[in-house]
Amino acid sequence: MSVVFSDAARAEFDRLLTRYPEREAVILPALHLAQKEFGFVSDEAIVYVAELLGVSPAKINGVATFYTMYNRKPVGKYHVQICRNIACSLLGAEHLIEHVAEKLGVKPGGTTPDGKFTLSQVECLGSCGTAPVMQVNDDYHENLTAASIAAILEKLP
């Protein structure tokens, strides 16, 4: 059950190759591309990227498992990532995390049964001035309160 890049993704991959003096520099961008194309970085995605670059799957897996943003297992439609680092914690992040966990009915790290939300606690997102902060898929949401989080999650289709 192998996977293959769409024409558009393959074109982007080929374009990326031209930007670096060494082929393997595209490994991180290629994994982002694979995650977008295939939903998550599966074993098949890893083998595919490895073959494109002529390196061992172990090497690609070593890279994929080092960085937190590559999901080696599928996540829900919306990955709700709430920061639990120092500035956010000082402004009540742990309460918010508990609140969201209760509301969604999942423990941090878990996914709702309908597959819509995965809740994660993450480290500093680099927006401490607007703490508490969360990232849902690609988007930052800042200055959070229990109410504003509820509103954000409710609006998601």
Residue choice 9, 28, 146, 152 for contact with other proteins (CB under 8 A): 28
Site for other proteins in 49-108 (CB under 8 A): 55-59, 61-63, 65-70, 84-87, 89-92, 94
- Select from 3-11, 111-119, 132-140, 149-157 the region that touches other proteins (CB under 8 A): 132-140
Query: Nearest Cα to 80, choosing from 145, 131, 148, 140?
Result: 140
Indicate the residue among 63 and 104 with the shorter CB distance to other proteins.
63
- Select from 16-24, 99-107, 109-117, 148-156 the region that touches other proteins (CB under 8 A): 16-24
Q: Does 138 bind other proteins (CB under 8 A)?
A: yes
Q: Within a 10 A sphere around the Cβ of 31, how many other Cβ atoms?
A: 20
The CB-of-102 to other proteins minimum distance in angstroms stands at: 17
Integer Cα distance of 116 and 129 in angstroms: 29
Three-state SS across 72-137? CCCCCCEEEEEECCHHHHHCCHHHHHHHHHHHHCCCCCCECCCCCEEEEEECCCCCHHHCCCEEEC
The CB-of-55 to other proteins minimum distance in angstroms stands at: 7
* 24 secondary structure, DSSP code: G
How many Cα atoms within 13 Å fall on the side-chain side of residue 103? 18
Contacting positions for other proteins (CB under 8 A): 19-22, 24-29, 31-32, 43, 46-47, 55-59, 61-63, 65-70, 84-87, 89-92, 94, 123-131, 135, 138-140
